[in-house]
Chain A
Amino acid sequence: MHSLLTVDGEAMTAGAATGAASVAWLLVALPLLGAAVLLLGGRRTDKAGPLLATGLSWASFVVGVVVLFQLLGQAAEERAHHLTLWSWVPAGSFDLDLGLLVDPLSMAFVLLITFVGSLIHVYSIGYMEHDPDKRRFFAYLNLFVAAMLLLVLADSYLLLFVGWEGVGLASYLLIGFWNWNPAYATAANKAFFVNRVGDLGLSIAIMTMFISFGGVDYATVNEGVAGANQSTLTAIGLLLLVGACGKSAQFPLQSWLGDAMAGPTPVSALIHAATMVTAGVYLVVRSHVIFDAAPDAALAVALVGAVTLLFGAVVGCAKDDIKKALAASTMSQIGYMMLAAGLGPVGYAFAIFHLLTHGFFKAGMFLGAGSVMHGMNDQVDMRRFGGLSGAMKVTWATFALGWLAILGVPPFSGFWSKDKVIEAAFVGEGWQPWVLGGAALVGAGVTAFYMSRLFFMTFQGDKRWTDDVHPHESPLLMTVPMTVLAAGSAFLGLLLAWPFAETAPIVSWLEPVVGEHGEEHPVIAVPLLIALTLAFVAFGIFLAWRQYWQAEVPDVAPRGSVLTRAARVDLYQDAVNEGLFMRPGIHLTRSLVFADARGVDAAAGGTAALVGGFSSRLRRLQTGYARSYALTMLTGVVAVLGALWVIQ
């Protein structure tokens, strides 16, 4: 079984897995085992379960590191390993092998998922300490890790889809984990439904690939792209984009992410910041052969990214709920990644680079937010925070590192990755660099404003605490993971960009998969661009400093301008959804109900009712009398014979 990844004319062949890569299935199997043990073991595993789950997650990380070292020891072209898990249908009618693909791109994700995931497992031991149902929580976490690893390690779109649905399921279960609260259950359902829209796009894309290329594994698809016609490729690209939008909360399918914050905070950190929501970016980069051949689809990706990064940033400026502000920020940062991924070869590596650094600093900040909530009786309203820097030193320091990183302040991680994305956005001809680059640049300024706002409102300024809170630092189990992630926020970017090397390590690492990114010439000189970005950032910080540190922050949000009010309600996205989809649906339903008094409340229900009605009528033939059964048989015989006679 060979898979062929075409890289600028050079062929990179994924050889059969050898060495450590041949046990790459353990990566998925270990956390899956944990989930199975915890879910099937029942109450017996209440005590040891969380520890077991955490241990298995770390074990998966260790396997990932071993595989990483194996890859590092090999020449760049030999770093792709293919591992056939099983041949589902033997060769013949159609052959469907399910396997894993271990290559630099999937390994980058594996390490992020297992490392951040394991840290969050550790954090959760502290965070969920008093939850009576924490066994179930850890089971779902492990299930999530397994599904996410399957998603990135899959060697075909079909298996990717299995993982894709798996993370969706885990996400649904975890958002609604506290489902005794109806609002949380509703949030889970919303995430579920919005994601179905995206999944529909992805599944149609997969079917189209199967019809066009005769297979859905990456190798077959990548080979088939060369011979396919432009419109098919564009269609596939756009459908993939729909899938990516759903999972990654990109415009216009972004509405679920804010509500998803109903889940426990470690979940928000792991799933809705560091890993699952970046699956869309992975999907686009993994399908780069398709997007390279379909520039229109790629442009659509970039535009969606640009729109979302501004959208998220604007929404983030108005949110007073600390988790929702972070969620808006996540949306916006993923917009940066999508933008980079849509730019083609100049952007792929930087999309992944920003994804990795973002995984660290955003997860770190979410954990910080969780720590704040832990100390503040689970309050989330930033207007009642303020001045926490003294009470929670570690949380403050780690959060500050994350804050500096996301702002793109040198030399912290975000600077290296985001700056590269902005530079790449300015590459090109005509209007594109100016629009895309402009959006990225303005976005950086707005990001600086809302993140500083969040940071100042929470940790600086006056104490606006409600009377009953006594902020305290969280236990070590929580602060240690935060510290580790903060270290990543500080140094990971520098390490991966390593400016003293000829090419940045992350670029040369990903090159065998995504192709050479070539010489880039932004329309504005690079040093000027960096200076401009930093100026925007500084201005953003200044505004936030003036308004939220120096000035008094009211306990209750003022009415605000039109834009603020719009941003507070997510720029009316729910209203739009409601107006566009829900209301007409409800009206249609009402008229249908009117038309059919028996009550048809949805298309599915309608079909079911139709079949059911047919069924009840048909059922009357089943009278229970042997004589009528015999008559039915006789009628059948006569009918068949008569018909054949006539035909003959």
Chain B
Amino acid sequence: MPAAMPTAFEQVSVDYLAIAPMLVVVAGALVGVLVEAFAPRALRHTIQVALTVATLLVALVVLAVWSRGHLAITLGGSIAIDGVALFLQGTLLALSVIGVLVMAERFGGVGSDAFTPMGASTPGSAQEDAATRAGYATSEAFPLTLFAVLGMMVFVAANDLITMFVGLEVLSLPLYVMTGLARRRRLLSQEAALKYFLLGAFSSAFFLFGAALLYGYAGSSDLSRISSAIQTNGGDLDGLLLPGVVLTLVGLLFKVGAVPFHSWTPDAYQGAPTPVTGFMAACTKLAAFGAILRLTYVGVEANRFDWRIGVVAVAILTMVVGAVLSVTQTDVKRLLAYSSVAHAGFILVGVLAFSQQAIGGVMFYLMAYGATTIAAFAIVTMVRQDGSEASHLSQWAGLGRNHPVVAGAFAFLLLAFAGIPATSGFMAKFVTFAPAVQSGTSGVVMVVVGVLASAVTAFVYVRLIVLMYFTEPVPGVVALTPSVPSTIAITVGVVVTLVAGVAPSWILQLAGNASTFLL
């Protein structure tokens, strides 16, 4: 047992300015719940969108203005607000803003937004019809989003395993619910939500089991204590250490969709309402990689030579499977899901380089990928046939003929996924792979696999671009005109993708300066 066990309850010191952004988000989420209860139905959607966006923006400003000067490990050592946490939280807030703007899309009228009018009704039932006719809307999605963002912010700043688990659950539960809220193809959506929930629970169990083993090994769940325990322990308890590290990592790798823990990704991505998919793909991935970075760099870095090779295998497998499986996909959302799996592999390559440069590279990648992804899914919501999303690839044929701007933006985003120069995708891969090459043989192997996998995915994206531009259009497929908020979101996504590819210096510097952990 640890010697410093407190004998009485002591109030921990709290650096409120450091955690102020999280407090803002939680306050906004709670107000959102009240709005849901008391605001008149006609205004609810508008109020919720405004409230959510305002909350996120205020949190972002608070973070940029005050928290930046208050780097601290606070709340009794359970939250670390350091450069990495701040950069990731800031990116998270910014991505959430554009994610929420896409969720707010209603194409000019109630009834065609992405969410089902009544989540609790049986699909196809009279109750559902009635709810549709009455013009109900599930504006609960917005406070749920805020709760998820809160969980993510905790996740990237969690400095002990228990807090990390709390963050994990806080971010996951709202997402499970939101996954099941799709307006069209509700059975698919509910199935996806259930699968996501079951497998998520399964992975959480792994995480908890691993955390328990690590606690048993180190006598503390605090990451820095675990680290010092690894360096000082004589080896009596080594049997706990390796399984502990692997199992906690499995819990986190599940969230980023690394193979073989990825099986939920395509189903959940396809079933979830498309704007939620975009949000999930960008923000969950970012938060989970934040947690992985902290766990591996702060917590268990000292015995990395024992477990690193296992994660190297996972990274290679992730890149290969993600890239190869994307080849046979016929659904745009599943295609992007497998692409996100492959990207998880690329980012892992950077994580495993174990250098400060790599932290900056990974953070840049997460930012760039997030912006591109949200914009891409936003465009997917716009392409419709007979009112519902035309997500089958064949329906995208010839889109470039009738909607050159939409198809052009999508093509550009695809090129970014493929890592073509002058897009953020190239720069991100470059800054992530370069430290890996310097890290040694296994790094080089991973980069070679990564480049080959990129070539395969590039084939997939280019094929889609060719499909959009060089085939005859499918009659009846249209790209709806987006409302102002989601136009802003798409524009921001595209501009970030371009700027981060063409003039990345500023962002790279920001990420580079922020790439230190408080120990």
Contact = CB atoms under 8 A, between A and B. Distances in A.
Interface of A: 86-90, 93, 608, 611-612, 614-616, 618-619, 621-622, 624, 626, 628-630, 632-633, 635-637, 639-641, 643-645, 647-648
B427 A644 contact: no
Contacts of A88: 502-504
30 contacts: A86-B503, A89-B427, A89-B430, A89-B505, A90-B508, A93-B431, A608-B327, A611-B459, A612-B328, A618-B321, A621-B263, A622-B263, A622-B325, A624-B267, A626-B198, A629-B199, A629-B263, A629-B264, A630-B202, A633-B199, A633-B254, A633-B263, A635-B260, A636-B250, A640-B313, A641-B242, A643-B309, A644-B306, A644-B310, A648-B306
A630 B198 contact: yes
A615 B335 CA distance: 12
B314 A640 contact: yes
B509 interface: yes
B263 A632 contact: yes
B456 interface: yes
B31 interface: no
Contact of A637 (B250, B264, B325, B434): B250
A622 B269 CA distance: 14
A644 B314 CA distance: 12
Nearest to A608: B459
B261 A86 contact: no
B324 A87 contact: no
Contacts of A643: 309-310, 313
A93 B246 CA distance: 33
A621 B338 CA distance: 14
Contacts of A630: 198-199, 202
B194 interface: yes
B309 A644 contact: yes
A99 B252 CA distance: 44
Contacts of A86: 502-503
A430 to B, nearest CB: 46
A90 B513 CA distance: 14
B310 A622 contact: no
Identify the interface centre among B266, B267, B324: most chain A CB within 10 Å of its CB: B324
Contacts of B260: 632-633, 635-636, 639
A616 B329 CA distance: 9
Contacts of B198: 626, 630
Contacts, number: 99
Contacts of A622: 263, 266-267, 325
Contacts of B259: 636
B502 A644 contact: no
A645 B431 CA distance: 33
A643 B307 CA distance: 10
B247 interface: yes
Interface residues of B, number: 44
The 5 closest A-B pairs by CB, nearest first: A636-B260, A629-B263, A615-B328, A90-B505, A615-B327
A88 B306 CA distance: 38
Nearest to A87: B505
Given A618-B321, A629-B195, A641 B243 contact: yes
A89 B243 CA distance: 41
B206 interface: yes
A184 B198 CA distance: 59
A520 to B, nearest CB: 44
Contacts of B314: 636, 640
Contacts of B203: 633
A644 B246 contact: yes
Contacts of A632: 260-261, 263
A621 B263 CA distance: 9
Nearest to A39: B404
Contacts of A621: 263
A74 to B, nearest CB: 31
Contacts of B206: 637
A611 B307 CA distance: 30
Given A90-B508, A621-B263, A633-B254, 9 more contacts: A86-B503, A612-B327, A619-B325, A622-B266, A633-B203, A633-B263, A636-B250, A637-B250, A644-B242
Contact of B307 (A626, A633, A644): A644
Contacts of B243: 641
A619 B321 CA distance: 9
A167 B459 CA distance: 24
Contacts of A626: 194-195, 198-199
Interface string B87-98: 000000000000
